[in-house]
Structure 1
Amino acid sequence: MLFLINSNKMFFLFIIFFSTLISISSNSWLGCWIGLEINLLSFIPLISNPNNLLNSEASLKYFLTQSIASINFLFIVILNFLILKNSFNNNITSILINSSLLMKMGSFPFHFWFPNVVEGLSWFNCFILMTWQKISPMILLSYYMNLKFLFLVMIFNVIIGTLSSFNQTSMRKLMAFSSINNLGWLLLALSVSENLWMVYFLLYSLFIFIMCFLFYIINIFYVNQLFNLNLNFMIKFSILINFLSLGGLPPFLGFFPKWMIINYLILNNLLVMSFIFVMTSLIMLFIYIRIIYSSFMFYNIKLKWSKIFIKNNFLIFINIFSLISSLGLIISTLFFI
């Protein structure tokens, strides 16, 4: 996917990368805001396309929501330093700062823009929006967390991301609501430990990259295309394995970080919260399995001339990783014995 990007978009990708580094390495809130603004202004040209109305609409929606979040963030920071004399211990102030950062990453209760923006993007831009664009707000959120408020946000993230995934016909919207669901897990991992958050985020980004790459090379945007297209069995198998890993089914590799988070919840007697997180993961697995089961079982017309053959050396790596992921929990537990 990276090799198909022209030099202008590669330039904006480098700016996005360095703007994230500016935000997370700044020693002042104003420097963090500057990094967020550079990130916003560099991502807009990457997703906008004058020849595509959906891309232009998505870029406008993204610009408006991110601008509102940035204005709120800057206003609260200035208000604290100039008027409230840097009294960051105020609960209302912490909730306001957390809310502006939650709007940046597309979390509940500011998640309404996220699926609509993802629907108008290409798969590569969807991957960036669902992974890299969440790094800066989440790390800034870890500097100043209101845990009582965020626990409520985590629970509603996993519930809304799961319930909204039902009856979705668009694969991009399905992946967007899956991202909202995983955002609840990411916030919980961030409240536990930054190392746990990093492990979860890296594995989540890897699964999202593989899914977006597979959907990109076979040009799939809607669920019924998985049923109608005469796809190769290994491609469907890779989609199945990565869907199950993304949902957190043991013994796949995606279960490993969720296992550690559930273990933390049980050890700290947060049984109701662990029950909600586990049940929403099971419902997400049901949604994934229903889609991939239908694509395996529904055969409309099998014509040799309509067979889709894809020659891509990167698919070999994806198939190998899918086999490794199927034994991921066994491999991961060996390092802890």
Structure 2
Amino acid sequence: MINNLTNFMFLMILMLGSIISISSNSWLGAWMGLEINLLSFIPLLTNLKNLTSTESSLKYFIVQALASTTLLFVVLLLSFNQNFPLEYNSYLNIILNSALLMKMGAAPFHSWFPEVMEGLSWTMSFILMTWQKIAPMILISYCLFHQFIFFVIIISILIGSIGGFNQTNLRSLMAYSSINHLGWMLSSLFISMTFWLIYFLFYSILSLSIIYTFFQLNIFYFSQIFSSLNNSPIMKFSLFCNFLSLGGLPPFTGFLPKWIIIQSLGMTNMALITMMVILTLITLFFYIRLTYSAFMINSTQISWNKLWVSNFSNLTILLNFLSLFGLIIISFLYLIL
């Protein structure tokens, strides 16, 4: 009871830190909010009974402290900067963007992200993939350096696509998927914050639908999926279709935010959106390969596992329904209204 109350308090402080960072009218206040967020997230990651989570929390702290130090250094330089040349300001802007990109785990500052994810629980992994990206992403929209972010978008989608190959650890796979989606989120900032918010909400729902299933089954590797879901073909079908939805394959819900970005960004930057779509097809390739092998290969069934697997909550069913049929529902509502 005490541990649950303590975790809840740290979670509230974590959210408060992000809100302070977003609503601040100065870079120093934004830095302070990020530090509050960091210092409240570390106790949530640390689990004295699990050495891997302790190692992950230490790695996360070192990387975030480095990014925070860089951010504070650049902010102080900018505050003293009155008569510096324009080229100097550009370099400082690139360093400022790099510090924020390191905080959210975007490529090429991504190497810590999969390693940290490997040692976390599914609950902490979901927070790291979603909420912890809100404050850096909004802050980076204030100082968007288009030429540099253009490079980061391409590298993030490429690394996120290639990194997912031959991954047997589900947390690593979700980490590389998050890096891939970061590229799409950064591209949505070229249009407006509204498009970023739409994409982020859809990404959070899709990630929650997959991670909540993993959390219920307590699985962390692909081999466990086949042994746990062989007696439940419907849930097996739903889970792998959720992967396809996360990859952005139509007619699943995950295609809708990508469709919006493609339609809007294609009017202004056709070269960028073409490269993004081509690189994202790599992600779809290994998702389809995994799905094909899961659906087509015969496997043994375990009789004692049947009742436990079939006892899924209503939240799981709702999330799977939204992930699989959200695009059809939204299209139908659009035609009616």
Tell me which residue corresponds to 1:29: 27
Aligned in 2, Cα 1:332/1:202: closer, same or farther, shift over 3 Å? farther
For residues 169-227 of structure 1, the C-alpha deviation after alignment (integer angstroms, 9 at most, x for no partner) is 11100000000000000000012110000000000011111111011101111111122
Tell me which residue corresponds to 1:207: 206
1:324 partner amino acid:
F
Map 1:45-64 to 2 at 5 A.
45-64=43-62
Which piece of structure 1 moves more, 142-151 or 278-287?
A: 278-287
Does residue 134 (structure 1) correspond to residue 133 (structure 2)? The answer is yes
Say whether the 8 Å CA contact 2:46–2:57 is kept in structure 1: yes
Say whether the 8 Å CA contact 1:245–1:325 is kept in structure 2: no
Say whether the 8 Å CA contact 1:250–1:329 is kept in structure 2: no
> What SS does the aligned partner of 1:40 have?
helix
Does residue 296 (structure 1) correspond to residue 295 (structure 2)? The answer is yes
Tell me which residue corresponds to 1:125: 124
Say whether the 8 Å CA contact 1:49–1:55 is kept in structure 2: yes
- Give TM-score scaled by structure 2 length: 0.93
TM-aligned CA deviation for residue 45 of structure 1 = 0.3
Tell me which residue corresponds to 2:105: 106
Tell me which residue corresponds to 2:224: 225
Q: Distance in 2 between matches of 1:298 and 1:77?
A: 56
Map 1:50-199 to 2 at 5 A.
50-82=48-80, 84-85=81-82, 90-199=89-198
> What SS does the aligned partner of 2:266 have?
helix
2:286 partner amino acid:
I
Does residue 263 (structure 1) correspond to residue 259 (structure 2)? The answer is no
Tell me which residue corresponds to 2:314: 313
Aligned in 2, Cα 1:326/1:226: closer, same or farther, shift over 3 Å? farther
1:116 partner amino acid:
E
> What SS does the aligned partner of 2:294 have?
helix
TM-aligned CA deviation for residue 275 of structure 1 = 2.0
Aligned in 2, Cα 1:139/1:332: closer, same or farther, shift over 3 Å? farther
Which piece of structure 1 moves more, 23-32 or 222-231?
A: 222-231
Say whether the 8 Å CA contact 2:114–2:176 is kept in structure 1: yes
Structure 1 unaligned spans of 5+: none
TM-aligned CA deviation for residue 40 of structure 1 = 0.3
Q: Distance in 1 between matches of 2:107 and 2:280?
A: 17
For residues 30-75 of structure 1, the C-alpha deviation after alignment (integer angstroms, 9 at most, x for no partner) is 1000000000000000010011010000000000000000000001
Aligned in 2, Cα 1:286/1:6: closer, same or farther, shift over 3 Å? same
Aligned in 2, Cα 1:258/1:322: closer, same or farther, shift over 3 Å? closer
Q: Distance in 1 between matches of 2:329 and 2:79?
A: 48
Aligned in 2, Cα 1:251/1:301: closer, same or farther, shift over 3 Å? closer
2:121 partner amino acid:
S
TM-aligned CA deviation for residue 312 of structure 1 = 2.3
Aligned in 2, Cα 1:128/1:117: closer, same or farther, shift over 3 Å? same
Which piece of structure 1 moves more, 35-44 or 215-224?
A: 215-224
1:318 partner amino acid:
L
Q: Distance in 2 between matches of 1:97 and 1:252?
A: 37
Tell me which residue corresponds to 1:236: 236
- Give TM-score scaled by structure 1 length: 0.93
Q: Distance in 2 between matches of 1:154 and 1:201?
A: 16
> What SS does the aligned partner of 1:192 have?
coil
Say whether the 8 Å CA contact 1:214–1:235 is kept in structure 2: no
Aligned in 2, Cα 1:286/1:30: closer, same or farther, shift over 3 Å? same
Tell me which residue corresponds to 1:276: 275
Identity of aligned residues (%): 49
Map 1:11-26 to 2 at 5 A.
11-26=9-24
Aligned in 2, Cα 1:37/1:76: closer, same or farther, shift over 3 Å? same
Which piece of structure 1 moves more, 193-202 or 307-316?
A: 307-316
Q: Distance in 2 between matches of 1:28 and 1:87?
A: 20
Q: Distance in 2 between matches of 1:96 and 1:237?
A: 45
The alignment's C-alpha RMSD in Å is: 2.0
Aligned in 2, Cα 1:319/1:70: closer, same or farther, shift over 3 Å? closer
Which piece of structure 1 moves more, 9-18 or 272-281?
A: 272-281
For residues 113-150 of structure 1, the C-alpha deviation after alignment (integer angstroms, 9 at most, x for no partner) is 00000011001111000000000001000111110000
Aligned in 2, Cα 1:20/1:153: closer, same or farther, shift over 3 Å? same
> What SS does the aligned partner of 2:220 have?
coil
Aligned in 2, Cα 1:202/1:109: closer, same or farther, shift over 3 Å? same
